[in-house]
Amino acid sequence: MSNYTDELVDFDEALDRYDPVLGFEVHVELNTKTKMFSDAPNAFGDAPNTNVTPVDLGLPGVLPVVNKTAVEYSILIGLALNCQIAEKCGFARKNYFYPDTPKNFQTSQFEDPIAYDGYLDVELEDGEIFRVEIERAHMEEDAGKLTHMGGATGRIQGADYSLVDYNRSGVPLVEIVTKPITGAGKRAPELAKAYVAAVREIVKNLGVSDAKMERGNVRCDANVSLMPKGAEKFGTRTETKNVNSLRAVEHAVHFEIERHAAVLDSGAKIVQETRHWHEDTRSTTSGRPKSDADDYRYFPEPDLVPIVTTVEWIEELRGRLPEPPAERRKRLKAEWGYADKEFRDVVNAGVLDEIEATIAAGASAAVARKWWMGEIARLAKAADKDIAALGVTPATIVELNSLIEGKKINDKIARQVLEFVIAGEGSPSEIVDKRSLAVVNDDDALGKAVDDAMAAMPDVVEKIKGGKMQAIGALMGPVMKATRGQADAGRVREIVMEKLGL
């Protein structure tokens, strides 16, 4: 860790004078059953070195064989990113010496990626669309996991030794590389976050990755450079690694812009290097210079033959593509008739799937939104949980709503019933029966309660007789008390008027 503090220039000030250029490399771990080149299980969280075959250890004489499903998932990603799919492509060895790969090379693609020349339309928070051009998406394999032991900080600096688990070694990866992104200006950090979120959403929607950033299923390296405003020649870039949450991507780009501006303002040059992101200090520190280590001496992998894609194969895969998330949102917004802000709030709350399922189960769009954005969101917030983690099903909402519409319970009781459902007491109807929560609207019981209330408050009755209808409200308290809050207020009003002949 560096022990100096980088000079920074205020973000807005920096962008008054410089234009940022961004570039992203996003690694997506595929969720195939087996690894890229071996039939070892591709699983997260298993005991160390249990998902390992001789191929994953790079033992002499082994022969890797490509996972067909991994190739198909890669093509699906390419198609979803509007890429061209290579008619013919192959694998290459990327040579480097580090214990995370026992082979001393990573099997990757070099000159001929399986997908290239695509784009992704990224929606910013206010709805503006920013098109990001995709350079390529290529297949490769993940490396083993090193844990640095000893030393004071738990980081590699000062570590005494490292322990290696090769379970992750050979897990299929697709690396998605953008072309340089210009023109984002002050929205660069926001765009960075939105881009990675969009890629994550796409691979999740395709079902080809678990897409959990906290597990490293989606990992981002963010390239940033600045050039004087109006210039066309890009500045020297840095590549910030280890930015593994959406918030971190946004903060890392923000930080690097401020740091680059300070370096350039001082007349110094940006060093082309990797930077390490530190979530705790929200800053980057210098990694290694990029130039020398870039000497990977790629050459074609002799153990793997080329992959040829036919038109039929690609079209069969294209037929499997689900509706793109952005198009789906557009369609749902129109179908549901929500206002712009209402819909954006729903998207930001992450309950699009829940509302869609609730409507499919029979609720109206308005009712579905009322529950998911109202009481359920409130309960989730109170419990400090994700809305999905509360376990409320669409069927519950539909049932609650039909109980309300059937005048069996009122809104207030329904909210209580929901809490009992979340507590695991059963379905709404069961709870209403078990706890005797049904609204009292049988006229005998209500009539008696109204009689009692009127007898106790003769002055109120006089006022009502004199035409002050709002005085009926004063009778409501005792009636509700007598019926334990379960009286139908509308019906009480009617009964009072009937009894007084009004």
Partner 1 sequence: MSAISREDVVHLAHLAHIEMSGAELDKMTGELDAIVGAIASVSEVASSDVPATSHPIPLTNVLREDTVGQTLSIDEVLLNAPDSDSDRFKVPAILDGE
326 lies in the site for partner 1, by CB under 8 A: no
Cα separation of 388 and 367, whole Å? 18
415 lies in the site for partner 1, by CB under 8 A: no
Cα separation of 439 and 498, whole Å? 20
Nearest distance in Å: CB 79, partner 1? 18
For 337-366, give the secondary structure using H, E and C: CCCHHHHHHHHHHCCHHHHHHHHHCCCCHH
Nearest distance in Å: CB 236, partner 1? 21
The residue range among 10-18, 48-56, 181-189, 278-286 that interacts with partner 1, by the rule CB under 8 A, is: 48-56
Give the per-residue contact string, 214-253, with partner 1 (x = CB under 8 A; - = no): ---------------------------x------------
Sheet containing 283-289: give its strands across: 84-85, 115-123, 129-141, 172-178, 18-29, 218-228, 238-243, 273-278, 283-289
Residue 384, φ and ψ in degrees, nearest 5? 55, 45
Of 21, 67, 219, 255, which one interacts with partner 1 (CB under 8 A)? Answer: 67
Of 13, 17, 33, 185, which one interacts with partner 1 (CB under 8 A)? Answer: 33
110 lies in the site for partner 1, by CB under 8 A: no
152 lies in the site for partner 1, by CB under 8 A: no
177 lies in the site for partner 1, by CB under 8 A: no
Torsion of CA 198, 202, 208, 210, to 10 degrees: 50
426 lies in the site for partner 1, by CB under 8 A: no
421 lies in the site for partner 1, by CB under 8 A: no
Contact of 426 with 419, CB cutoff 8 Å: no
Sign of CA dihedral 454, 455, 459, 462: positive
The residue range among 17-25, 160-168, 201-209, 424-432 that interacts with partner 1, by the rule CB under 8 A, is: 160-168
40 lies in the site for partner 1, by CB under 8 A: yes
320 lies in the site for partner 1, by CB under 8 A: no
* Helical spans, DSSP H, in 142-245: 188-206
Site for partner 1 in 257-316 (CB under 8 A): 288, 293, 295, 297, 299-302, 304-308
Q: Residue 53 or 358: which CB sits closer to partner 1?
A: 53
**Which residue, chain included where needed, has tokens 């110094």?**
268
Residues touching partner 1: how many (CB under 8 A)? 62
Task: Record the tokens describing residue 322, joined without a space.
Answer: 């689900």
Beta strands in 142-237 (DSSP E): 145-149, 161-165, 172-178, 218-228
4 lies in the site for partner 1, by CB under 8 A: no
The residue range among 64-72, 121-129, 417-425, 494-502 that interacts with partner 1, by the rule CB under 8 A, is: 64-72
Contact of 431 with 391, CB cutoff 8 Å: no
